[in-house]
């Protein structure tokens, strides 16, 4: 009986740790949400994915959906998203036009939220191409908002590092929820993300 209680307490402590970690991740987004920022250089690039709730939710959602896939299919999704995001940023910096960027960001949130809510499983190539198409719009928005005077390589390094952090966080949180068999909570999170995407599309 004593062993059972200690395991329960350990689970409670671990869950509290996850909640605190998520709160710390969300704080920069709340503090800097689309205010244009006041940092420069690498710090501006590092903070940029946190500067809008749309980018933050998309990165976390892709990680959550990846966690719902079989182990062999998990990591290609974040990797594909990150590569496509950087390519989208490069398109913006090069001055290449990409239509309907804001609508694309909203639709991407709606769709990836639905993917998490339904725990849909697709072939690896299809799912990677799908999240890659979402990432193009987010990457383009990042590139279009690059701080003037910042070294391009520095900007890419910062965007890549913070985006990777959020993607991996989504995967780890998703895997933890899967281990706890909190599938309903995972699907509720996906539904909330889908609703936020719908709101962005309509507003």
Q: Tell me: the pLDDT tens digits for 55-107?
A: 999 999 999 999 999 988 899 999 999 999 999 999 999 999 999 999 999 99
Q: H-type helices in 33-181, by residue range?
A: 41-47, 53-67, 71-74, 76-93, 101-118, 124-144, 152-179
Q: What is the DSSP letter of 147?
A: P
Virtual torsion, Cα 148, 154, 159, 165, nearest 10 deg: -150
Coil, strand or helix: which one is 51? coil
* pLDDT, average across residues 166-184: 94
SS3 180: coil
Distances (CA, A) of 146 to 100, 139, 163, 171, 176: 19, 11, 15, 27, 35
Q: How far apart are CA 84 and CA 78, in angstroms?
A: 10
Looking at per-residue confidence, does 44 or 164 come out higher? Answer: 164
Per-residue confidence band for 52, with pLDDT thresholds at 50, 70 and 90? confident
Q: Which residues contact 185 (CB under 8 A, 6 or more apart)?
A: 177
Q: Is 134 buried (19+), middle (13-18) or exposed (0-12) by CB count in 10 A? A: buried
Q: How far, in Å, CA of 143 to CA of 104, rounded?
A: 15
Q: Which of 3-7, 62-66, 177-181 shows the highest mean pLDDT? A: 62-66
Alpha-carbon dihedral angle through residues 80, 84, 87, 92, given to the nearest 10 degrees: -160
Average pLDDT over the chain, rounded to whole? 82
pLDDT at residue number 4: 40
Which of 160, 59, 173 shows the shortest CA–CA distance to 105?
59
Hey, where are the domains in the chain? 2-202
Q: What pLDDT, on the 0 to 100 scale, is given for residue 40? A: 55
**pLDDT confidence bin for 203, thresholds 50/70/90:** confident
Q: Does 10 have pLDDT greater than 90?
A: no
The pLDDT confidence band at residue 41, using thresholds 50, 70 and 90, is: low
């Amino acid at each position: 009986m004593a062993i059972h209680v200690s395991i329960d307490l350990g689970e409670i402590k671990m869950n509290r740790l996850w909640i605190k970690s998520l709160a710390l991740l969300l704080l920069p987004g709340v503090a800097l949400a689309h205010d244009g920022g006041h940092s420069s250089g690498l710090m501006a690039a590092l903070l940029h994915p946190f500067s809008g709730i749309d980018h933050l939710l998309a990165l976390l959602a892709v990680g959550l959906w990846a966690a719902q896939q079989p182990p062999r299919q998990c990591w290609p999704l974040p990797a594909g998203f990150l590569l496509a995001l950087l390519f989208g940023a490069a398109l913006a910096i090069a001055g290449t036009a990409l239509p309907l960027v804001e609508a694309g960001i909203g639709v991407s949130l709606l769709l990836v939220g639905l993917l998490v809510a339904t725990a849909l499983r697709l072939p690896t190539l299809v799912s990677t191409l799908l999240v890659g198409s979402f990432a193009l719009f987010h990457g383009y928005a990042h590139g279009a908002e690059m701080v003037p005077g910042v070294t391009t390589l520095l900007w890419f390094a910062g965007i890549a590092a913070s985006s990777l952090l959020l993607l991996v966080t989504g995967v780890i949180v998703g895997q933890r929820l899967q281990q706890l068999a909190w599938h309903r909570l995972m699907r509720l999170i996906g539904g909330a993300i889908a609703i936020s995407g719908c709101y962005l599309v309509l507003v």
